[in-house]
Amino acid sequence: MALTDPATGRVHGHAPRSGPADTDAACAAAATAYAHWSTTTPAARQRALLGIADAIEAHAEALTAAETADTGKPPEQFRTEELPAIADAVRYFAGAARNLPGAAAAEYTEGRTSLLRREPVGVCAQITPWNYPLMMAAWKIAPAIAAGNTTVLKPADTTPSSAVLLARLAADHLPPGVLNVVCGDRDTGRALTAHPDVALIAVTGSVRAGREIAAAAAAGLKRVHLELGGNAPVLIHEDVDVAATAAALAAVAYYNAGQDCTAPTRLLVHRRIHDAFLAAFAAEAAALRTGADFGPLNNAAQLASLRALLDRLPAHAEIVTGGGRPARPGFFHEATVVAGVRQDDEIVQEETFGPVVTVQPFADETEALHLANAVRFGLAASVWTTDHDRAMRATRALHTGIVWVNTHGTTVSEMPHGGVKHSGYGSDLSLSGLLDYTQAKHVML
């Protein structure tokens, strides 16, 4: 498969297209390794993961080069903002491996003692997207290995380079077969998820991919972990500092060219400050430099999809700033702000996955929450206000897996990252993410 640099539109390398024989070999290696790895002590798994985290930091330049060649991201952004978080997530799961929770042993029936074991699931098939290739690989690999599973990872067909390099670095710290990588397209992913050796499938991707994988997994009654799309609402109340809030949200909304499932894409603004906020946010967006402040879209198909979405805007919608492509090579798109939209518009209801943000007014708190929840996605949201009670009401009422208050997009390894509704089920990060890769066994003595 040809690999294209999105910043230039030129082929920069090639990756293999793994066929059925490759998938069989990878799954067989994982199944063989599972017999031993599943019996290792948590301390041994911790040592391995700590070694991998150290290797990530030691090879930061090589990983940056691999990631940015496939994604076109500004290298300094990846090096300073993503790599530290990737190493931290691996270290978190290294520690979590030694702290699995369990119910206290007790006599729940006379003369017998019950205890609970947490055991690994088996061979995991893990499929990662192209927006954060290395980060998503680490989020998947680390908890699976920490829990005693073995895994076969399939990175996105356009961005395999950093995941392959990570596997090579991990090979110095893991026994053969614990971590395997197959490169390829959708057919490779289908062969992997249908493989009889696979016990659990974990996917970060589109709703379409999630539906297809869940349906395929049903035939084998395999466990499925899905982190799918997002369409994050942002509730901006009339008591905020307009300029500061606009600046903070623009910095997050256009990071990674908006290719983030938690990106603040739907700004819901109290009508008293709507016009002032729209002007301030549009000015922030217009000041961003494509190629410096944010990179390109990952591939030509995603760029075409975004352009088609903007071309289909209804007459009542207004592009306040941006809306076009800069005059340069690659898959870049201007930071875009769209106002005048209605709740049933396609651009409001569907995930844009690009540097496009909509702005809608609301009259009161009740309407804001209704607009926020009236989409099929439920991954993330944020509320901006100085009113603590209002913020707490919003955190309860928003139908999402993550809610931020007066911030947006910050993740920590200790807290779960996952959604509800069409954004999927299961958690990345945190103890919840680790437990997703285990199964409970009741033992009675």
Token pair of 244 as six digits: 């500061």
227 given a catalytic annotation: yes
Residue 369 DSSP SS3: helix
Q: Are strands 150-154 and 2-5 parallel, antiparallel or unpaired?
A: unpaired
Query: What number of residues does the chain have?
Result: 445
DSSP codes, 37-81: HTTS-HHHHHHHHHHHHHHHHHTHHHHHHHHHHHH---HHHIIII
Phi first, then psi, for residue 201 (nearest 5°) are -120, 125
404: left (phi over 0), alpha (psi -120 to 50) or beta: beta
* Residue among 227, 334, 351, 365 flagged as catalytic: 227
Instruction: Give how far Cα 242 sits from Cα of 206, 342, 384, Å.
Output: 34, 23, 10
Task: Specify which residues 290 forms β-bridges with.
Answer: 294
B/e letters for 344-377, b = 16+ CB within 10 Å, e = fewer, are ebebbebbbbbbbbbbbbbeebeebbebbbebeb
DSSP codes, 116-131: EEEEE--EEEEE--SS
Cα radius of gyration (the chain): 23
Token pair of 165 as six digits: 């390099």
Q: How many CB atoms lie within 10 A of CB 114?
A: 15
C-beta separation of 91 from 49 below 8 A: yes
Token pair of 428 as six digits: 């990345």
* Residue among 261, 284, 351, 365 flagged as catalytic: 261
Residue 138 DSSP SS3: helix
Q: Which of 127, 148, 123, 143 is nearest to 198 (CA)?
A: 123
Catalytic positions: 227, 261
